[in-house]
């Protein structure tokens, strides 16, 4: 189903089609390129870019020009795994908007510009991570001196936290992909810390699947998208008895600032 048909030339073989895509089930957005902050890209050619079978919407891309938008409907059974709330036999709705068609030279320029933007994000991230490091270090001192009062919320299994900003988005559920930034300190040695801001790339993990520490899997169920908080995490729900050498020693309590950027059901 074509929603908007702009005049223009469709892509030629070898061109790179850039697009925004929204994946929906009924009225719920499961995920989108906007949420992930990364446009879709497909190179027109006989081999394509997907291994193990291309998505159903790929076939329409060679027919579209810049500005066109289209809906594609496909059985959920074609997905490698069913998103939360989707059952076999359900229909998945894809909305696609073509934003650009680039030849190899144009795509090279696009990638160079994207790389420069990422360097700028890393630079700003380093500044922000230092600011958040100092903020978290001050919170640790207040926590140790029992000065946090009612700001300290008691969570599950010994985890406690301070909410800096309560999100207004969707709360994640098990199997949802959570995209987050973090600044992590050892409670007993604040000189050792790690942050996703420095790399300029958020950490993404499926909730409740054992792909992150237990404290995240349990506590994040209470945090809507957009939440900013600092978690005080006992070693039992962090990296356990053995830690995670060489950066996390055994039985290490953690203090982690988190910002939940997005929740995606797929």
Write the CATH number for 58.
3.10.50.40
Measure the CA–CA gap between 28 and 71, rounded to whole angstroms. 15
pLDDT for 81 equals: 82
Q: Clarify whether residues 91 and 6 are in a common domain.
A: yes
For residues 238-266, b (16+ Cβ closer than 10 Å) or e, as one string?
bbeeebeeeebbeebbbbbbbbbbbbbbb
Give domain status of residue 194, yes or no: yes
pLDDT at position 50: 62
Residue 119 included in any domain: no
- Residues 142 and 255: their CA atoms lie apart, in Å, by 12
Considering the domain architecture, whether residues 255 and 147 belong to the same structural domain is answered as: yes
Is 118 within the bounds of a domain?
no
Q: Are residues 139 and 258 in the same domain?
A: yes
**65 in the same domain as 152:** no
pTM: 0.78
- Note whether 187 and 151 are same-domain residues: yes
Residues 144 and 92 in one domain: no
Same domain, 144 and 259: yes
- The answer to whether residues 155 and 50 belong to one domain is no
Residues 131 and 235 in one domain: yes
Residue the block writes with tokens 């795509």: 107
* Domain membership flag for residue 70: yes
Q: What is the pLDDT of residue 211?
A: 92
Does residue 113 lie in a domain region? no
Q: End-to-end distance of the chain based on CA atoms, in angstroms?
A: 23
Residue-range definition of the domain harbouring residue 77: 2-102
Q: Is residue 186 part of a domain?
A: yes
Task: State the Cα–Cα distance between residues 20 and 248, nearest whole angstrom.
Answer: 39
Which portions of the chain are predicted below pLDDT 50? none
**Is the domain of 86 the same as that of 159?**
no
Number of domains composing the chain: 2
Regarding whether 199 and 78 lie in a shared domain, the answer is no
- Per-residue model confidence (pLDDT) at position 37: 78
**Which of 69, 102, 135 delimits the end of a domain?**
102
Is 83 a member of any domain?
A: yes
pLDDT of residue 4: 56
Measured between alpha carbons, how far is 230 from 227 in angstroms, rounded to an integer? 10
Is residue 84 included in any domain, yes or no?
yes
Q: Domain check: are 72 and 141 in the same one?
A: no
Give the per-residue pLDDT at 193: 87
Q: How would you write the chain as a 3-class SS string?
A: CEEECCCCCCCCCCCEEEEEEEEEECCEEEEEHHHHCCCEEEECCCCCCCCCCCCHHHHHHHHCCCCCEEEEEEEHHHCCCCCCCCCCCCEEEEEEEEEEEECHHHHHHHHHHHHHHHHHHHHHHHHHHHHHHHHHHHHHHHHHCCCCHHHEEECCCCCEEEEEECCCCCCCCCCCEEEEEEEEEECCEEEEEEECCCCCCCEEEECCCCCCCHHHHHHHHHCCCCCEEEEEECHHHCCCCCCECCCECCCCCEEEEEEEEEEECC
């Amino acid at each position: 189903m074509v929603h908007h048909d702009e005049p223009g030339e469709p892509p030629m073989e070898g061109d790179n089609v850039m697009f925004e895509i929204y994946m929906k089930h009924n009225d719920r957005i499961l995920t989108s390129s906007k949420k992930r902050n990364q446009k879709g890209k497909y190179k027109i050619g006989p081999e394509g870019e997907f291994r193990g079978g291309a998505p159903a919407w790929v076939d329409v891309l060679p027919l579209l020009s810049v500005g066109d938008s289209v809906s594609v409907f496909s059985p959920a059974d074609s997905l490698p795994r069913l998103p939360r709330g989707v059952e076999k036999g359900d229909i998945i709705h894809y909305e696609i908007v073509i934003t650009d068609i680039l030849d190899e030279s144009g795509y090279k320029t696009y990638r160079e510009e994207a790389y420069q933007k990422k360097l700028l994000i890393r630079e700003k991230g380093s500044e922000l991570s230092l600011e958040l490091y100092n903020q978290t270090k001050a919170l640790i001192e207040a926590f140790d001196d029992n000065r946090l009062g009612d700001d300290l919320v008691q969570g599950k299994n010994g985890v406690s936290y301070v909410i800096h900003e309560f999100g207004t988005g969707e709360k994640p559920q098990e199997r949802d992909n959570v995209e987050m930034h973090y600044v992590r300190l050892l409670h007993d040695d604040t000189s050792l810390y790690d942050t996703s801001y420095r790399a300029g790339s958020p950490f993404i993990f499926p909730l409740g699947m054992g792909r992150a520490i237990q404290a995240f899997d349990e506590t994040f169920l209470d945090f809507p998208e957009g939440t900013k908080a600092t978690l005080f995490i006992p070693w039992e729900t962090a990296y356990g008895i053995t830690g995670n050498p060489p950066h996390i020693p055994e039985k290490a309590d953690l203090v982690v600032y988190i910002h939940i950027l997005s929740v995606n059901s797929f």
